[in-house]
Amino acid sequence: MGARIQFPAGAQVRESARGEIERSLTQIADAVSAIPPASAFWDSMSNSLLQIDAGGCHVVYRIEPREIQVIELQEIPPLV
Cα–Cα nearest to 63, from 47, 41, 77, 45: 45
Q: Would 9 be classed as within a structural domain? A: yes
Q: Would 71 be classed as within a structural domain? A: yes
Q: How many other CB atoms are there within 10 angstroms of residue 63's CB atom?
A: 20
Q: Would 42 be classed as within a structural domain? A: yes
Q: Would 12 be classed as within a structural domain? A: yes
Domain that holds residue 25: 4-75
pLDDT digits (tens, 9 = 90+) for 1-25: 578 999 999 888 889 999 999 999 9
Q: Would 35 be classed as within a structural domain? A: yes
pLDDT digits (tens, 9 = 90+) for 40-54: 999 999 899 999 999
Q: Would 80 be classed as within a structural domain? A: no
pTM, entire model: 0.87
Instruction: Name residue 39's amino acid.
Output: S
What's the total number of domains in the chain? 1
